[in-house]
Amino acid sequence: MPSPTAPTTEAALETLRRVFGYDSFRGFQREVIDHVVAGGDALVLMPTGGGKSLCYQIPALVRDGVAVVISPLIALMQDQVDALTAVGVRAGFLNSTLDPDTRRLVEAEFVAGEIDLLYLAPEALAGQGTLSLLDRGRISLFAIDEAHCVSQWGHDFRPDYLNLSMLHERWPGVPRIALTATATSATRAEIATRLDLTGARHFVASFDRPNIQYRIVPKREPRKQLLALLRDEHPGDAGIVYCLSRASVEKTAEFLVANGIDALPYHAGLDAATRAANQQRFLRADGVVMVATIAFGMGIDKPDVRFVAHLDLPKSVEGYYQETGRAGRDGLPSTAWLAYGLQDVVQQRKMIDTSEGDLAHRRNLAAHLDAMLALCETVRCRRAQLLEYFGEPATGGCGNCDTCLEPPESWDGTVAAQKLLSTVFRLDRERNQRFGAGHCIDILLGRSTDKIVQHRHDSLTVFGIGGECSEAEWRGVVRQLLAEGLLAVEGDYGTLALTDASAEVLGKRRTVMLRREPARPARVAKPRGAATVVAELPAEAAGTFERLRAWRAATAKEQGVPAYVIFHDATLRQIAADKPSSLAELSRISGVGENKLAKYGEQILEVLAGAD
């Protein structure tokens, strides 16, 4: 196994300071970089915002040759290259968006070693032309980004990733680094096997994102609940709203726009030009809300996303973690908010039952859903449960999730469960009929609806025996019984059916503890949005910070790049607070590297001078 040397370490640290403007590495970045620079293979698991990209960008600058980065994100390659160019790194990409002349230029730069990093999509490696090109250059390393895409059990499976094991076969002497933000131990093992990285050193960081406040609320009127969240806690903030269907994306975006929120839709049903335009506006403008299906988000580097909201239940904890991780990449307080209800459970169960694939595939989908439901229904710290899912032990509560801030009550719902299951049993066995949750709840509450009268269900012995619970509470009972596998959903109409485990409850052999439905949405400590970020600065620095942001916005617009490519908010805040009066003092600010100092230093000093 290659071992790091002192010269390697010093070269990496010097590059970090000179190019990127940071004085020290975070976490195990240094260990990964030293290992790869020395020629070792690595599998890196690091949460979004943890600095994964530096783990291959710095080795690319220290080692001889060109680093080849395999990325599934064709739509974002230009932004990735722009961000590197802004700090003085020579980078390029090859994909289907390039015209022939530009493509030939990039290929020539690669062969001549005139770039440091070359970005490719995985499907490009299926073509003989790309392979021949790579044979003509000197490759310093292969970086396989978003490596979880190789997992066939994962939430972002990309078949082209399965071919990447050929990198080791064709270029056995070139080190490889595979990186992802989301993977259980089983997924890590699958990544290592499929990419032929079984001998690689694994680096696994903590999954904890302490700046994200996790909240899951009962779904009542989800769009109105979302609007209240945006108005009360995140006015003017950038954020992402995830919906399950394209239709829901469109309706939600229209609803937000109608209510004064700057929102855009994104889903696979939109034409490529519209998707690209909406994505670019989200990245480059301040305070835009993107309403999207899960087709959006992978590789988004926007650091100031202050919230990620889900209006529908994610299919897995991995997907949920990956999506919520797009909030707060800059380390500032952010919100992960999910509205969750009975219909979500019914819909997801139906989707699994009707999904393509064999029994093993459906069982895997069900296991993923069960874990997600357990996270939604837990009465303990959500962050602890999330971390434990990924194999990371957690001690105590986090103090920054809804169950810690307002601990929920649990209650003995055994009798209520028996009443509900008895209703389903009597409809099935006595009448040979099956109905959905709403009808069963109407029976328990003794409501003489037209359907109940028509089917003479008011004559059932369970009619009217459930008056101790409200309709919302009964819906919570149904949802939790479905989550625990004590009740099932069947057929196209989502009718309720008993399971083998139902007999244990009906036979009084099993106690059922349930989470109590809150009478009203919990009021939790508000995460600090953009306004508070400014307020945290000294009073005299807040105005300077805003002037710096205005300068950055104008500069970014002039250059046609996202604002964060110029400088992150954290860097501007430090500049506003410290007020450097010379280029030498400015160079000591975190995030101000050699190239940005030369390019923007005088302009920043002028902004600061004008603030006095």
pLDDT in tens, 160-219: 888 888 998 999 999 999 998 877 788 888 889 899 898 999 999 888 999 999 999 999
Kindly report, residue by residue over 90-127, the tens digit of the pLDDT.
999 998 888 999 999 999 999 999 999 999 988 888 88
**195 occurs within a structural domain:** yes
Strand 305-310 vs strand 495-497: parallel, antiparallel, or unpaired? unpaired
- Three-state secondary structure along 291-326? EECCCCCCCCCCCCEEEEEECCCCCCHHHHHHHHCC
252-259 mean pLDDT:
97
The per-residue pLDDT for 153 is 54
Which range is least confidently modeled, 230-234, 335-339, 427-431, 528-532? Answer: 528-532
Give me the phi and psi of 15, to 5 degrees please.
-65, -40
The per-residue pLDDT for 235 is 95
**527 occurs within a structural domain:** no
Kindly report, residue by residue over 376-399, the tens digit of the pLDDT.
988 889 999 999 988 888 778 899
Domains held by the chain: number: 4
Whether residue 141 is found in the same domain as residue 267 = no
CATH number, position 475: 1.10.10.10
Residue 517 confidence class, pLDDT cut points 50, 70, 90:
low
Which range is least confidently modeled, 138-142, 175-179, 315-319? Answer: 315-319
**590 occurs within a structural domain:** yes
Distance from C-alpha of 551 to C-alpha of 15, rounded to nearest angstrom:
28
The per-residue pLDDT for 519 is 58
The per-residue pLDDT for 78 is 85
Q: What angle do CA 564, 570, 576 make, to 5 degrees?
A: 110
Domain ranges, residue 511:
410-515
pLDDT over 80 (residue 456): yes
**1 occurs within a structural domain:** no
**521 occurs within a structural domain:** no
Tokens representing 22 are 């940071």
Kindly report, residue by residue over 533-564, the tens digit of the pLDDT.
444 677 778 889 989 999 999 999 899 888 88
465-470 mean pLDDT:
93
Terminus-to-terminus CA distance in the chain, angstroms? 56
Whether residue 239 is found in the same domain as residue 366 = yes
The per-residue pLDDT for 106 is 95
Whether residue 25 is found in the same domain as residue 80 = yes
Nearest Cα to Cα of residue 417 among 341, 467, 465, 486:
486
Whether residue 199 is found in the same domain as residue 223 = no
Residues 6 or more apart from 61 whose CB is under 8 A from it?
15, 19, 89, 116
Whether residue 290 is found in the same domain as residue 197 = no
Distance from C-alpha of 336 to C-alpha of 376, rounded to nearest angstrom:
13
- Kindly tell me the number of DSSP H helices and DSSP E strands found in the chain: 27, 17
pLDDT over 50 (residue 313): yes
Residue 1 confidence class, pLDDT cut points 50, 70, 90:
very low
The per-residue pLDDT for 536 is 65
